[in-house]
Amino acid sequence: MIKRLLFTAALAAALASAAFAQNTNTSTGGRGTTGRRASTPATTNATTPAQEATREATQSESRAAGARRAAARTTPSATQTAAVREAFDSLVDGIRRADADAVMALYWNSPQLTIFNNNGTVTKSWEQARSNRESLYAKISDVKLDVRDVRVKALGPTAALVTCLWEQSQTAGGQPEHATGRLTIVYQKVGTAWKIVHTHTSPDKPNPANILPSERTPAGEATPPAKPPARP
């Protein structure tokens, strides 16, 4: 009987110790009764009004800087216009001196160069243009060339248009010559230099036979002015 009582008391003590140990493990380290660790409050990335204003100001300045760079790439400058005019003046000077080398150095050295001449012909390629210039300048002298109403129109950072009226006199084969006309020159920036890629010359007084009948003006008559709009 005594042994049975002792065994029962020992068993009860062992069970009590096990229960105490289990309760201790489930509450240690801040865990809940379910054995899971308590959650940590989440952090947020919200910005303050001052930070938001700074960010918007930075983005606005970045957009403005990009717009200025784009405008600089596409808006022709006074420097560009002056450079094109300088190239045109060099052309006029070379023609006055009948200097084929100086003149052709201003043209685009390419087979794609095209020149519409004052006599209605077309010259294609730099090589052919040079040959024509050398042949012409070898037989003329006393060249006088006046240009007026010169206009330079920039077409972008690498292209420009020059128009003018011209009057030229010279001696060819001992005989005086004189002509007037209009000139259009297309310039393109090739490397760092402005080169002529196309010219179109036409006379002030073309042959009437080459003008469409509907576009002819009777002799002695000026082109009629545009009619003013009718009043309501």
Domain 78-206 fold is Nuclear Transport Factor 2; Chain: A, (3.10.450)
- Could you tell me which residue, 219 or 65, shows the higher pLDDT? 65
Compute φ and ψ for 95, nearest 5 degrees: -65, -40
Cα 110 from Cα 132, distance rounded (Å): 15
Q: Closest Cα partner for 104 from 200, 113, 86, 177?
A: 113
Measured CA to CA, the distance from residue 213 to residue 232 in angstroms comes to 35
Give CA–CA dist 175/173, Å, rounded. Answer: 5
Cα separation, 177 vs 16, whole angstroms: 133
Q: 139: which residues sit within 8 A by CB, 6+ positions away?
A: 172, 173
Q: What is the pLDDT of residues 111-127, one digit of tens each?
A: 999 999 999 999 999 99
Which residue stretches of the chain are H helix?
2-27, 49-74, 78-96, 100-104, 126-137
User: Is 32 a residue whose pLDDT tops 70?
Assistant: no
Distance from C-alpha of 81 to C-alpha of 151, rounded to nearest angstrom? 10
- What percentage of the chain carries pLDDT values higher than 90? 53
Measured in degrees and rounded to the nearest 5, phi and psi for residue 188 equal: -135, 140
115-159 pLDDT, tens per residue?
999 999 999 999 999 999 999 999 999 999 999 999 999 999 999
User: What is the CB-side half-sphere exposure of residue 59 using CA atoms within 13 A?
Assistant: 6
CA distance 147 to 201: 13
DSSP class of 166? E
